Amino acid sequence: MSLPQRVRSAWRYLFGDAASAFGTLSAVLLIVLAIVPAKDYFREWLGYQKQYLRLIRGRGDATSLSRRFQGGLQQIWMPDLGVVDRCTTCHTALKEASLVDIKTEPFRPHPAIPHRLTEFGCVICHRGQGAATTVEEAHSSTKSWEEPILPARYLEASCGQCHLDRPMGTPRLNQGRDALAQYGCVRCHTIKSPDGVIMTGSDAPPPLLHIAEKTTREWIAAWLKNPQSYAGSATMPNFQLADDETRDISAFLIAQSTSYPSHQGPEPAPAASQDAAALQAGTSLYGESFCSSCHAMQNAAGMLVGGNLGPELTRAGSKVKTGWLAEWLRDPKTYDPDTRMPRYRLDARQVGLLIGFLSSKSDSDFLGTTQLAAATAAQIEHGKTLVIERGCANCHAINGVKKPENFAPELTLVGSRPLEKILFAPGVPHTLADYIGAKIRQPRSFGNALKMPQYTLAPQQIGALETALLAQTQLAQTLPVSLRIPGRASSNYRPAGKAGQLIDDMRCFSCHKINGYGGGMAPELTWEGSSVQRAWLVSFLKNPNTLRPALIRRMPKFDVTDAEANILTDYIMTVYQTPAFDQETTDASRFTAADAEHGKELFYGKYACQSCHIIDPKKDRGYIGPTLTQVGARLTASWISHWLKNAQSLRPGTSEPVWNMSDEDARAVTAFLVAQKNAPRKEVAQR
Amino acid sequence: MNRAWLGWIVLAVGMTGACSRRATGPAEAQPKAFGAALVLVSGDKQAAGVGSLLDQPVVVQANDEKGTAVAGALVKFAGAGGVTFDPDHGLTGSDGQFSTNVSLGGVHGRYQIVATTRDSAGRKAEIRVDEIALGYQETLGKQVSDIHCVRCHDSESTPERVSNHDNLSAQAHAFTDGATPNAMSDADLAAIISHGGAALGKSAEMPPYGNTLTKPEIDALIGLLRALADPPYRPQGIFYAGK
């Protein structure tokens, strides 16, 4: 059989004669044509829409629900935000509050948030692929589209794309941003906010320029080996150094250390008093000086008690040399000009007592019996190489080593890093959040040659850091500037003159904020001059007494002289005045006894101020706010009156609610409070 | 011929073996002892942000019929809605306890997790534990509450925050105590927060916060109350006239 014949017979075998072939072909054509509408009919989203209609059919408000339902492909399109979202095609009930009992996706109503869906769409917050119309493509990362949905625990990251302030509703993002600054991440990695501001560290890594004066080489080596074994709360990470590396780095750090212009007062450095009575007195002095407002120590139960502004002192006796400690207690600034530690005006006896107390806080296990042999020149040279390699100078000032630039990869856009450019360590799920988490958790799991040190962080802290880093997206840079909520600009306020020197000397800004500059531990003092009376302020500066009994962080006593107290008081009374009182001042001399009596009724009755304040220590018990037994000698009448009306306007964030008192009520309560002057103070200021 | 078939079969089996990915998860621990009942030790009714890890682990204890702790009993944890456990099963320790870290799912609301163990006869003993996932609104409410409310409404003191609860003549309700707020409408709760206790005939020791907090903040506080309430709050929903 020739070839055409074979084909013909095969044709006949398959399709029969021409007529039946025509019939078969028609049937095939019909089926092929039917595929298109069938594909359309069986589309995934259409199924969800039908499911939704079935879901609402039996409900009481079915009519209004179905009236609001819009079938077909839905789309939110906002060209200026770059948003094309088709999520509402399946998520049909996002705005239906009455479906609150529905817990299954995609029909769950959206929980309450401060933004409207129509203003921002979905993917700006949730990420994923808004334009996709299948479940997989919209939510997972596929070959062509690799942005998956952001897991719920990181959702606050999306708020951080616009919100550079600290919104109250995003505690995790705020915690993460704080941690980036507090753990020194930003000292090696450049991280720019979307507004171009480079994040700066809030930790205070000590300079190492004169380290040999402060501690021993053995301590440095042991600390480098594992900082957390010295102090569990240490923020310095573990660089996982080998023994010979800690030996050589400590050799170099001691070798580069220079002497510093120490105070060398008239009296020689006092010897540490070690007998039991002195130790007792030293313990008391540590407490009375409120050292624990900034420094933590482990108590007998192993709990860390105290503030975190300064280093933990649990094992301080194993660290510092007593000669250095004496100098440091006399004037910390000579050793570290940028320290947050104030200059206490301690006398030689007090310094001796504190040295005795702190020396007793030693731990023989920490240093063990390590004895390092004298360093060779080669070891010192190797130590310097290691210091440069590990980037120690990113945080610490070191003689002969410059602060490196661009030491670690910039993380400004880490939240948009394409997955294809990431090398995942074995066992890490292929998502950006998991990658960032694994990097923070175990940096060296990505390769032993990596420089990033090992941090000791709680899972919550790692989650917060992941959230803050996921906020660093490309989108944050390209969103319209009008959407950006700027963070608080940093203030370079510094007071001038003699008072400025005193404020610097006592490091008031370590705890107090004035004109936007300073710490947040103690009350803001921007308008302190309008608030308090002159005589009270002088005596308070000389001997700060407790205003708020429930607080454990207290203002230390600096033993300022009369002259110093007067200089500071004059400055505060003149400069730190609010303009708000110019229009409306309250003259205390015009109050009558009837005013005060009415005020007392209001105080105890209508406003129930005794819930939080104490006027009569025998009867009142509230201790959230300051004790008011002597408030008439402390605050000005104008301040009290304005405070009663709107305390938040005077000191934003205070616990005092805005009472919005009428003029009459405010006048009466002020009259009552101004009269609270009992137990006049002994130390009245002498000009 | 036969030999050829044998060759093909060996090849096919070999290929199947090579290509199939065996589940290489940790082999399930074999119980060394059996408990008749599970009791909760700690970790229930914790509140954490959606999807996130609870602050404290959930700890359960396996007991035998006499109520004494059993070491080496196999305890398994399970939960719906995306709850994950680390680890999700294991043997009880020498104190008879087993502890797991729980991460909640991505939807706000209540999660019920179930711990199970089997006695020697294979009968199941289980215990159910409730946890609460806070959404945006409840998280905001918690922040507001931490600043303005807990000092009086929480009777527990911490070193950083001394409670004022016992200094008041009226006893402020704990936010976890659902009995009272569950009977109040959102509008009543908003009124008492905004206008103070006196406005609703309650103690004036509860100050008005209407000029201090914004409306979204007050709504958020109510959301938090509803989320934490125990017994759980059941919203009344909307009623329409039936057909």
The CATH number for B106's domain is: 2.60.40.10
Same domain, B216 and B179: yes
Q: What does DSSP assign to residue B130?
A: E
Same domain, A97 and A196: no
Report CA-CA distances (Å) from B199 to A435, B131, B165, B204. Answer: 54, 34, 21, 8
Domain stops at, among B134, B161, B179: B134
Element holding A102 (H helix, E strand):
none
Residue A679 to residue B112: CA distance in whole angstroms: 59
**Confidence (pTM):** 0.87
Q: Does the pLDDT value for residue A266 go beyond 80?
A: no
Chain A residue whose CA is closest to B109 = A103
Residue A478 to residue A81: CA distance in whole angstroms: 8
Q: Chains A and B: how many Cβ contacts under 8 Å?
A: 118
List, for residues A395-417, the tens digit of each pLDDT value.
999 999 999 988 999 999 999 99
Separation in Å, CA of A17 to nearest CA in chain B: 43
| For residues A71-77, average pLDDT | 90
Same domain, B112 and B168: no
Q: Does the pLDDT value for residue A174 go beyond 80?
A: yes
Residue A333 to residue A325: CA distance in whole angstroms: 13
CATH number at residue B170: 1.10.760.10
Residue A621 lies inside a defined structural domain of this protein? yes
Same domain, A518 and A642: yes
CATH number at residue A339: 1.10.760
Q: Does B144 sit within 8 Å of A168, measured CB to CB?
A: yes
Same domain, A82 and A190: no
Distance of CA A265 to the CA centre of its chain: 41
Measured between beta carbons, the chain A residues lying within 8 angstroms of B198 are 606
Domain stops at, among A346, A381, A416: A381
Separation in Å, CA of A113 to nearest CA in chain B: 6
Measured between beta carbons, the chain B residues lying within 8 angstroms of A67 are none
Same domain, B147 and B169: yes
Domain that holds residue A144: 44-149
Residue A356 lies inside a defined structural domain of this protein? yes
pLDDT higher at A506 or A681: A506
Residue B164 lies inside a defined structural domain of this protein? yes
Residue B16 lies inside a defined structural domain of this protein? no
Same domain, A198 and A215: no
Domain that holds residue B100: 37-134
| For residues A68-95, average pLDDT | 90
Same domain, B183 and B122: no
Residue A484 to residue A160: CA distance in whole angstroms: 10
Residue B30 to residue A646: CA distance in whole angstroms: 66
Closest CA to B109 of B88, B86, B136, B143: B136
Give the pLDDT band of residue A570 (cuts 50, 70, 90): very high
Same domain, B129 and B140: no
Residue B17 lies inside a defined structural domain of this protein? no
Same domain, B57 and B120: yes
Residue A84 lies inside a defined structural domain of this protein? yes
Which of B51, B168, B242 is facing A151, going by the closest CB pair?
A: B51
Residue B48 lies inside a defined structural domain of this protein? yes
Same domain, B92 and B155: no
pLDDT value for A686:
40
Same domain, A84 and A24: no
Give the pLDDT band of residue A186 (cuts 50, 70, 90): very high
Residue B81 to residue A544: CA distance in whole angstroms: 55
Same domain, B121 and B53: yes
Give the mean pLDDT of chain B. 84
Q: Does B107 sit within 8 Å of A60, measured CB to CB?
A: no
List, for residues B41-77, the tens digit of each pLDDT value.
999 999 999 988 999 999 999 998 888 888 889 999 9
Say whether B129 sits in a helix, a strand or coil.
strand
Closest CA to A240 of A451, A440, A438: A451
Q: Does the pLDDT value for residue B85 go beyond 60?
A: yes
- Residue B174 has, within 13 A of its CA and on its CB side, a CA count of 11
pLDDT value for B159:
75
Same domain, B110 and B140: no
pLDDT value for B9:
66
Residues with Cβ within 8 Å of residue A63, at least 6 apart in sequence: none
Same domain, B41 and B56: yes
Same domain, A34 and A52: no
Q: CB–CB of B144/B214 below 8 Å?
A: no
Question: Angle at which helices A637-650 and A663-674 pack, to 10 degrees?
Answer: 120
pLDDT higher at A365 or B117: B117
pLDDT value for B8:
62
Q: Does the pLDDT value for residue A651 go beyond 70?
A: yes
Which of B51, B223, B240 is facing A61, going by the closest CB pair?
A: B240
Residue B3 lies inside a defined structural domain of this protein? no
Same domain, A591 and A654: yes
Same domain, B91 and B177: no
| For residues B71-94, average pLDDT | 90
Residue B242 lies inside a defined structural domain of this protein? no
Start-end of H helices in B98-203: 136-148, 150-153, 179-182, 186-195
Measured between beta carbons, the chain A residues lying within 8 angstroms of B106 are 151-153
Task: Kindly state the tokens that stand for B143.
Answer: 């922040």
List, for residues B109-155, the tens digit of each pLDDT value.
899 999 999 888 888 889 999 999 999 999 999 999 999 999 999 88
Chain A residue whose CA is closest to B106 = A152
Residue A156 lies inside a defined structural domain of this protein? no
| For residues A324-342, average pLDDT | 91
Interface of B with A in 89-108 (CB under 8 A): 101, 103, 105-108
Strands B124-134 and B109-118: antiparallel
Residue A600 to residue A671: CA distance in whole angstroms: 9
Same domain, A284 and A358: yes
Q: Does A460 sit within 8 Å of B152, measured CB to CB?
A: no
Same domain, A677 and A598: yes
Same domain, A371 and A514: no
Same domain, B157 and B194: yes
pLDDT value for B1:
44
pLDDT value for A3:
80
Give the pLDDT band of residue B3 (cuts 50, 70, 90): low
Residue A112 lies inside a defined structural domain of this protein? yes
Number of domains, chain B: 2
Same domain, A268 and A363: yes
pLDDT value for A263:
58
List, for residues B174-187, the tens digit of each pLDDT value.
998 888 888 888 99
Residue B135 sits at the chain A interface (C-beta within 8 Å): yes
Give the pLDDT band of residue B220 (cuts 50, 70, 90): very high
Domain stops at, among B109, B134, B159: B134
Q: What does DSSP assign to residue A615?
A: S
Give the pLDDT band of residue A39 (cuts 50, 70, 90): confident
pLDDT higher at A142 or A50: A50
Other beta carbons less than 10 A from residue A446's beta carbon: 17
pLDDT value for A257:
92
With tokens 């719906």, the residue in question is: B80
Residue A124 lies inside a defined structural domain of this protein? yes
CATH number at residue A469: 1.10.760.10
With tokens 């933990």, the residue in question is: A312
List, for residues A441-481, the tens digit of each pLDDT value.
988 887 777 889 999 999 999 999 999 999 999 999 888 88
Residue A158 lies inside a defined structural domain of this protein? no
Separation in Å, CA of A654 to nearest CA in chain B: 9
Q: Does A305 sit within 8 Å of B136, measured CB to CB?
A: no
pLDDT value for A75:
92
Give the mean pLDDT of chain A. 88
Which of A113, A608, A623 is facing B164, going by the closest CB pair?
A: A623
Q: Does the pLDDT value for residue B23 go beyond 50?
A: no
- Residue A212 has, within 13 A of its CA and on its CB side, a CA count of 14
Which of B164, B221, B234 is most worth mutating to test chain A (most A CB atoms within 10 A of its CB)?
A: B164
Residue A591 lies inside a defined structural domain of this protein? yes
Which ipTM score applies to this complex?
0.86
Residue B28 lies inside a defined structural domain of this protein? no
Bridge partners for B86 per DSSP: B101
Residue B109 sits at the chain A interface (C-beta within 8 Å): yes
**Ramachandran assignment for A149, one of left (phi > 0), alpha (psi -120 to 50 degrees), beta (any other):** beta
pLDDT value for A521:
86
Number of domains, chain A: 5
Same domain, A655 and A671: yes
pLDDT value for A679:
54
Domain stops at, among B134, B157, B186: B134
Residue A671 to residue A593: CA distance in whole angstroms: 8
Residue B126 lies inside a defined structural domain of this protein? yes
Measured between beta carbons, the chain B residues lying within 8 angstroms of A459 are 53, 101
Residue A3 to residue A598: CA distance in whole angstroms: 120
Closest CA to B222 of B143, B158, B137: B137
Residues with Cβ within 8 Å of residue A317, at least 6 apart in sequence: A358, A359, A360, A361, A362, A363
pLDDT value for A112:
87
